Amino acid sequence: MPIGAREDQGVVWSGLEKRPAAVLLGANNNGYATVQFDAESVAWFVSNLHKIKSYANRSLVWNFLEHEVDQARMDPLLFVEAAEKNLVKEESSNLVPIIVGRLNKILRFQTASLEKRMELRGRLNALYQTKLENGMFAKEFLWTLSGAQMQQYALDWLAHGAITLHGATHALPKTARYLLIQKAFACDFFTLHQKMAFYNAEKAQSYSIMDEHMFLQCEVMLPDKREQLWEDYVNATRFNVESLKFSASGFLTWRNPELSGTYADKYMAELESIFINKHRDYAENFFIHLSPAFLNRPKDLEAFKQILNRTNQAE
């Protein structure tokens, strides 16, 4: 189904004075196919996706664009550009978090260099600020903070229970507050005493099992805890299936690729043993949440292939 049209001096088909600016196959749920957009359609969607009236069709385009990135047929930054031009105008509360999740995936797994990640982090930070006033992007905004920004917001929150941006005060939901605390734990600017003060202040507000899970995500940011945490992951002496997921998801980080590379080597050395000796669900979480795939190291890909080959031969 054609989406939009424009004047054109040439004639595409005999008797047709206008041709579509973009083509969306399968529009209006009239069928489904995995398609590859032509360059002109991509260019139009990137700049004008918000003009498509149908939520289903907008969702379909976002899905296709993500697929193009996943298949390495489209630069991930072009997806980011589409978000910059369309996300702030997106009215669907269902579609917005899906788009944001894809942006986070691009930042974590599909941006190869630290320099590019920092550039992208800054662009997303500016994007999320545009809708922060209505509370939509509080957590996402905090996730993209630089170290200097984070220090000030963390101090503001500890003092006032809110952050101030462009002269306006914004209360933070619990998940966003914990994200701020996580960033404080990862920052050398704060002492351990200050970091624990952040955590205890939040814990005192309304304690639940979520506080225990969130503390695991804070603890993993402390450098002197890493070696003991690694031993606990491998030996399953402290963590169960659920708590492993919360702790391990922040263990490897692109902010310190050298240290992450060291533990990536250990991960590869232990992975087969974990699957043999630990419960399947525990091994699955170990495999997923400690995976070094985001480091984009060729030797890790080769190691995964060798493990797969050995597993297939054993069967």
Give residue-wise pLDDT tens across range 171-186. Answer: 777 777 777 788 788 7
Q: How many CB atoms lie within 10 A of CB 231?
A: 11
Torsion of CA 284, 288, 290, 291, to 10 degrees: 120
Which pLDDT score is estimated for 284? 94
Which pLDDT score is estimated for 36? 78
Please tell me the total number of residues recorded for the chain in this structure: 315
Say how far apart CA 131 and CA 140 lie, in whole Å. 11
170: phi then psi, degrees, rounded to nearest 5: -125, 120
Which pLDDT score is estimated for 91? 78
Report helix angle 241-248 to 209-219, nearest 10: 40
Percent of the chain with pLDDT over 90: 14
Q: How far is CA 304 from CA 72, 227, 248, in A?
A: 20, 23, 19
Say how far apart CA 219 and CA 233 lie, in whole Å. 14
Strand partners, 6: 19
Per the prediction, the chain carries an average pLDDT of 79
Which pLDDT score is estimated for 267? 94
Which pLDDT score is estimated for 269? 93
Which pLDDT score is estimated for 264? 92
Which pLDDT score is estimated for 229? 93
Among 184-193, 250-259, 264-273, name the most confident range: 264-273
Mean pLDDT lowest among 183-187, 225-229, 268-272? 183-187
Which pLDDT score is estimated for 143? 62
The two structure tokens encoding residue 91:
């009215």
- Which comes out higher in pLDDT, residue 307 or 140? 307
Query: Is 84 exposed, middle or buried, given 0-12, 13-18 or 19+ CB atoms closer than 10 A?
Result: middle
Which pLDDT score is estimated for 15? 46
Closest to 150 in 3D by CA, of 182, 128, 174, 123: 182
Percent of the chain with pLDDT over 70: 80
Say how far apart CA 78 and CA 282 lie, in whole Å. 37
- Which comes out higher in pLDDT, residue 20 or 270? 270
pLDDT band per the 50, 70, 90 thresholds, residue 19: low
E strands along 145-243, which residues? Answer: 162-165, 168-171
pLDDT in tens, 147-205: 666 677 777 766 676 777 666 677 777 777 777 788 788 777 788 888 888 888 888 87
Question: Model pTM?
Answer: 0.59
Which pLDDT score is estimated for 4? 43
Closest to 82 in 3D by CA, of 95, 94, 65: 65
Within the chain, residue ranges assigned H as helices are 39-48, 55-70, 76-86, 95-109, 114-129, 138-143, 147-160, 174-185, 192-203, 209-219, 226-235, 241-248, 257-277, 280-289, 298-314
Contact residues for 33 (Cβ-Cβ < 8 A; gap 6+): 25, 26
